[in-house]
Structure 1
């Protein structure tokens, strides 16, 4: 999100310095790896609108950098009827294509998935290459004049006045009229008391496909207990995971270790619902979720600070549009109502 904000601000001619805590391509947060789901399929119109804007900006970023980032494979929601009906209705009201599919048709098209309930297909769904996207955002920002400094942890952010923020790193103190804070799991440490989020360590996994040439959609399985998401990650396998079930962690003291009970539960899920994979051939993944009580994002301004936080395990698809909203806020625009800071001010 910080890299997207840097790109958007640099495009507007701002004097931008992007401070990154870690080296390029690190695996300590929530934005690493080769695949994140992109989808317009939400039940809330403002999320659909934000995803549509992100789609345009992903294509713009691809054009600016010459690197393909987004691959639209199509996607399905299946399982419980009620949430899928809400999504289908919202997409129809927004003019986004989608269709209900018979179980036999879905099973024939995607034999790697097992379907027993309603299936709704939406073609404008796919995957974004996460590592390449972050690198492209930073490259495009640099081309537009931004300065990017890796391995430069921010130690403190202090508001000194209406147009004066002090940012302290190990090597220097910077002063700026506006500061965008997009610190992921480190947000509560950097801005204590400002917002309420829960930081968890999640562990999806890549499963080896039985047929490497088989077609896979991105998928969401709506269930009464654990929501499941998944997609094909070229070169790595079929990624699947439970949504937001991991233990709370301190991001500076994570063990990155696979939790045996959760791993076994995910393998059992694959054994029952993913007939196209070897459920015992897995490569675990460790990442963080930073989740608000409502799972809505925080994209807001308080004084000279713009805060981007709480992306709750579903934010990556929106990245360039969130960067654009951050630039709008820097310029004095009001926040979108859904994304305002609802907690401590």
Structure 2
């Protein structure tokens, strides 16, 4: 039986472990900290699950991913996505294009003018038409990671090694791979899947990847994003909103803001707001400092004052998170000589987690297909 080494125990790595063990494969997952830790991109309980993309391929992939989420929830008996619905608005959000794609793919939706939208969601201020799709929601990322890993371990085919920092991956002369840790430990396997998120840029040169493949990779950019939780104005005695809040994306001019119910991360007492790709650029996850800037805090307070009358524009909790981006925000999912790279997910990968696991497993065992847009290209392996 093939043994796979998976580097990274975030959403993508955990999903790959689950998918492989479900197929009867053996895996060892190595994680430099702990699964879904707060120094990566898969921590906490609040990530947006949405179908709205101005690109039909991604909307179609969300539909496929949702089927896998449903299966995962059924197998585990755990709710991983809380349905809230989602709204998209703003003159740069191109809601007509999103609605056209929804019509083509078959996603339930509704378009409302600003007045009708304000009647339905008085906690928002709208100045353009609004696209609503009710099947969107909020992903509990941390619970998803632990659920995937627990299911993988329960098969008897997976082990999870924590505080295990990969320093080098080399090819064995007899075939397969050898991974070394910062403390001198070594594990061996037939295939390697690298799902290292924000640590990937610092690790690329130590994976033994062919030069052509390395040169063909897009430039990865890691950003330390900043998110702010603002309390609900109509909160009950427990701090929870009396009004049902959807997730939202508001894109107007250069402003690209998103928000969602904050969930367990901040006591269910507020809306989580952030500017997409508004954080500072860092070299890799090794360079993060977890600092919130006064400039971004002020910007988000100003935004809430203008567009979110349903919150008190005073952050009561703040956090940082890593986005690892490609220039066009496409994913990179490819295989070369037995080594699979699954990254970067460009700040929008959480909703695809179980599908990313399927793609990674397919590449590792030579079955199935990955969208060509996500592949570096066969010519790059020479």
Match of 1:202 in 2: 225
Unaligned runs of 5+ residues in structure 1 are: none
Work out the CA distance in 2 between the residues paired with 1:37 and 1:344. Answer: 34
Tell me the alpha carbon deviations over residues 75-119 of structure 1, each in whole angstroms, 9 at most, x when there is no partner.
111111662222111111111111111222211221111111010
Match of 1:330 in 2: 364
1:87-236 aligned within 5 A: 87-145=98-156, 146-160=158-172, 163-169=175-181, 170-192=183-205, 194=214, 195=217, 196-211=219-234, 212-234=241-263, 235-236=268-269
Work out the CA distance in 1 between the residues paired with 2:85 and 2:292. Answer: 30
**Comparing 295-304 with 77-86, which one deviates more in the overlay?**
77-86
Match of 2:376 in 1: 341
CA contact (8 A) 1:40 1:52 kept: yes
1:171 is displaced (CA, Å) by 4.5
1:282 is displaced (CA, Å) by 3.2
Work out the CA distance in 1 between the residues paired with 2:155 and 2:327. Answer: 37
What root-mean-square deviation, in Å, do the aligned CA atoms of Structure 1 and Structure 2 show?
A: 1.8
- CA change 1:162–1:229 in 2 (3 A) is farther
- CA change 1:162–1:316 in 2 (3 A) is farther
Instruction: Give the TM-score of the pair, scaled to structure 1.
Output: 0.95
- Secondary structure of the corresponding residue to residue 328 of structure 2: coil
Q: What is the count of residue pairs matched by the alignment?
A: 345
- Whether 1:45 aligns to 2:56 is yes
CA contact (8 A) 1:42 1:91 kept: no
1:23 is displaced (CA, Å) by 2.1
Tell me the alpha carbon deviations over residues 263-320 of structure 1, each in whole angstroms, 9 at most, x when there is no partner.
1111111111111111123311101110001100011111111101111111101101
Unaligned runs of 5+ residues in structure 2 are: 1-11, 206-210, 235-240
1:292-303 aligned within 5 A: 292-303=326-337
- CA change 1:28–1:344 in 2 (3 A) is farther
Alignment match of 1:14 (pick from 15, 20, 25):
25
Which 4+ residue blocks in structure 1 deviate beyond 3 angstroms?
159-163, 342-345
Match of 2:280 in 1: 247
Work out the CA distance in 2 between the residues paired with 1:230 and 1:264. Answer: 16
- CA change 1:81–1:203 in 2 (3 A) is closer
1:175 is displaced (CA, Å) by 1.9
Work out the CA distance in 2 between the residues paired with 1:191 and 1:257. Answer: 26
**Comparing 145-154 with 112-121, which one deviates more in the overlay?**
145-154
